[in-house]
């Protein structure tokens, strides 16, 4: 019993190391070194230098955006200012600049002819039980308003007169000279770093006159609408309305000075253009009461450019844990070259059979006399060796055949 315990303890405290076969072949030697070099270069250049895998990363950026639009324009022969054309007025990260407006003034509750062409009629029957009734400007009464058998329009009940949005209205061209001030503050909570898009070194006099452009005035937080539309090739948007995205990207390497952590701006059109539904518009109304106490309203159909400010970013800083993980990964990956070289050595190279013979040793069963302790132990060790060579994970096509050849050679 004590012998067995002692035996298993001595069996446990051993060190095993793999036996190597050194192949002195220029071909495989060069392939091996080139493969190792490529793997090392990949890790140094891409993983470490480009992807900065040695850094701890914070992608959970916290951000707030404030905006302020400035400029004067003319809409429907009226001079309009910010309070007229920006909606909603709070200066959030999503806002609209109205560029075209169809105004229907003095609407009151009552009955009147529908303005849409699709609701033309010749008899009352054309105005009842219509499946597109929800597209009318009011509830269809079922009457056809036609004088003297010529084609007329269905009658509606609701806000009258009905809006005619087919009329031509000039858009506000001055919008291209409007400016948007963007104030973006961000924080990377993991590293407790806060940054703002307005550089503290800017002078008030510069701020008064500057306009952002990607070449010279990258620090200026004031954007001309015309510049943004040019960047996205979307000048038609003034006519139809649409959505423009202003992307602010913060990519910060906090191993360097925080001051170098600056936002990058880019502009895209967000809504996809389709032939069926072009652009962007919405309606709103202003309500009034006459001296006599009856209510009336002015309906506005507004075509607008909707700006959406999207903030994204990540920050990285050196940290030992990701560094060690990637460093060890780099070292072990160099071993991948061996797998590749084995594949070539054992299958495609001239004399592959000889290499195979050297690499895979096969030992036949040893015939033993009973009670011979020495033989028994040697057989055990050989058996385990054979097992290991099968498990080694090296690729070899037709390994069985090769080992059989070896046997024949040996005999």
Minimal distance in Å, beta carbon 211 to ligand NAG?
11
Q: Does the annotation place 68 within a ligand binding site?
A: yes
- Scanning 27-35, 148-156, 173-181, 392-400 for contacts with ligand NAG by CB under 6 A, the matching segment is 173-181
Q: What residues numbered 366-405 form the site for ligand NAG, per CB under 6 A?
A: none
Residue closer to ligand NAG, measured from CB, 163 or 174: 174
Residue closer to ligand NAG, measured from CB, 211 or 378: 211
Minimal distance in Å, beta carbon 71 to ligand NAG?
9
Positive or negative CA dihedral for 184, 188, 189, 193?
Answer: negative
Q: Which two tokens stand for residue 92?
A: 């959030």
Q: Does the annotation place 179 within a ligand binding site?
A: yes
Q: Does the annotation place 282 within a ligand binding site?
A: yes
Positive or negative CA dihedral for 364, 370, 375, 378?
Answer: positive
| Residue 70 touching ligand NAG (CB under 6 A) | no
In angstroms, the CA 344 to CA 233 distance is 55
Minimal distance in Å, beta carbon 173 to ligand NAG?
4
| Cβ atoms within 10 Å, residue 38 | 11
Q: What is the three-class DSSP state of 271?
A: coil
| Residue 64 touching ligand NAG (CB under 6 A) | no
| Residue 173 touching ligand NAG (CB under 6 A) | yes
| Nearest CA among 330, 322, 399, 408 for reference residue 360 | 399
Sequence-ordered list of residues with C-beta below 8 angstroms from that of 105, at least 6 positions apart, any chain: 298
In angstroms, the CA 140 to CA 162 distance is 12
Q: What is the three-class DSSP state of 329?
A: helix
Residue closer to ligand NAG, measured from CB, 51 or 230: 230
Binding flags for ligand NAG, 110-149, as an x/- string (CB under 6 A): ----------------------------------------
| Residue 174 touching ligand NAG (CB under 6 A) | yes
**Among positions 58, 114, 176, 243, the unique one binding ligand NAG when judged by CB under 6 A:** 176
**Residue bearing tokens 């940054």:** 195
Residue closer to ligand NAG, measured from CB, 235 or 400: 235
| Nearest CA among 157, 154, 136, 156 for reference residue 145 | 154
| Cβ atoms within 10 Å, residue 114 | 25
- Rounded to 5 degrees, what are φ and ψ at 407? -55, -45
Sequence-ordered list of residues with C-beta below 8 angstroms from that of 303, at least 6 positions apart, any chain: 98, 99, 100, 101, 171, 239, 240, 241, 279, 280, 281
Name the residue with the smallest CB distance to ligand NAG.
177
- Rounded to 5 degrees, what are φ and ψ at 106? 55, 50
Minimal distance in Å, beta carbon 151 to ligand NAG?
42
| Residue 163 touching ligand NAG (CB under 6 A) | no
- Scanning 21-29, 119-127, 171-179, 372-380 for contacts with ligand NAG by CB under 6 A, the matching segment is 171-179
Sequence-ordered list of residues with C-beta below 8 angstroms from that of 261, at least 6 positions apart, any chain: 193, 195, 250, 252, 253, 254, 315
- Scanning 84-92, 174-182, 304-312, 348-356 for contacts with ligand NAG by CB under 6 A, the matching segment is 174-182
Q: Does the annotation place 281 within a ligand binding site?
A: yes
Give the number of residues in contact with ligand NAG, rule: CB under 6 A.
4
Minimal distance in Å, beta carbon 277 to ligand NAG?
28
**Among positions 78, 177, 233, 290, the unique one binding ligand NAG when judged by CB under 6 A:** 177
Residues of the shown chain interacting with ligand NAG in the complex, contacts defined by CB under 6 A: 173-174, 176-177
Q: Could you list the residues known to form a binding site for ATP, using ranges.
A: 68-70, 179, 281-283, 301
């Amino acid at each position: 019993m004590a012998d067995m315990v002692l035996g298993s303890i001595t069996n446990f405290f051993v060190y095993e190391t793999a036996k190597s076969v050194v192949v002195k072949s220029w071909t495989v030697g060069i392939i091996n070194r080139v493969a190792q070099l490529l793997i090392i270069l990949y890790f140094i250049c891409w993983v470490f230098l480009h992807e900065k895998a040695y850094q701890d990363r914070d992608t959970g950026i916290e951000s707030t955006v404030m905006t302020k639009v400035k400029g004067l324009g003319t809409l429907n022969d009226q001079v309009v200012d910010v309070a007229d054309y920006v909606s909603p007025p709070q200066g959030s990260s999503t806002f609209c600049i109205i560029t075209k407006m169809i105004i229907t003034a003095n609407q009151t509750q009552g009955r009147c002819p529908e303005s849409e062409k699709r609701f033309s009629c010749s008899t009352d029957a054309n105005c009842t039980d219509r499946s597109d009734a929800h597209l009318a400007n009011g509830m269809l009464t079922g009457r056809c308003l036609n004088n003297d058998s010529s084609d007329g329009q269905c009658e509606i009940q609701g806000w009258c007169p009905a809006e005619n949005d087919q009329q031509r209205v000039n858009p506000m061209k001055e919008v291209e000279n409007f400016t948007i001030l963007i104030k973006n503050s961000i924080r990377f909570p993991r590293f407790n770093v806060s940054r703002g898009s307005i550089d503290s070194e800017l002078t008030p006099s510069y701020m008064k006159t500057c306009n952002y452009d990607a070449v010279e005035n990258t620090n200026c937080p004031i954007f001309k609408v015309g510049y943004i539309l040019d960047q996205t090739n979307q000048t038609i948007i003034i006519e139809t309305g649409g959505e423009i995205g202003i992307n602010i990207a913060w990519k910060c390497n906090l191993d360097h000075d925080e001051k170098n952590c600056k936002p990058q701006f880019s502009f895209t059109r967000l809504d996809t253009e389709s032939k069926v539904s072009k652009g962007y518009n919405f309606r709103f109304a202003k309500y009034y009461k006459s001296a006599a106490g009856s209510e009336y309203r002015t309906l506005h159909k507004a075509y607008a450019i909707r700006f959406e400010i999207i903030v994204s970013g990540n920050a990285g800083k050196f940290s030992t844990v990701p560094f060690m993980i990637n460093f060890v990964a780099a070292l072990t990956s160099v071993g991948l070259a061996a797998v590749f070289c084995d594949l070539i050595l054992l299958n495609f190279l001239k004399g592959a059979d000889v290499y195979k013979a050297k690499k895979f040793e096969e030992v036949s069963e040893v015939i033993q006399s009973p009670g011979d302790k020495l033989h028994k132990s040697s057989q055990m060790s050989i058996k385990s060796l054979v097992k290991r060579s099968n498990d080694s994970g090296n690729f070899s096509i037709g390994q069985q055949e090769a080992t059989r050849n070896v046997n024949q050679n040996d005999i």
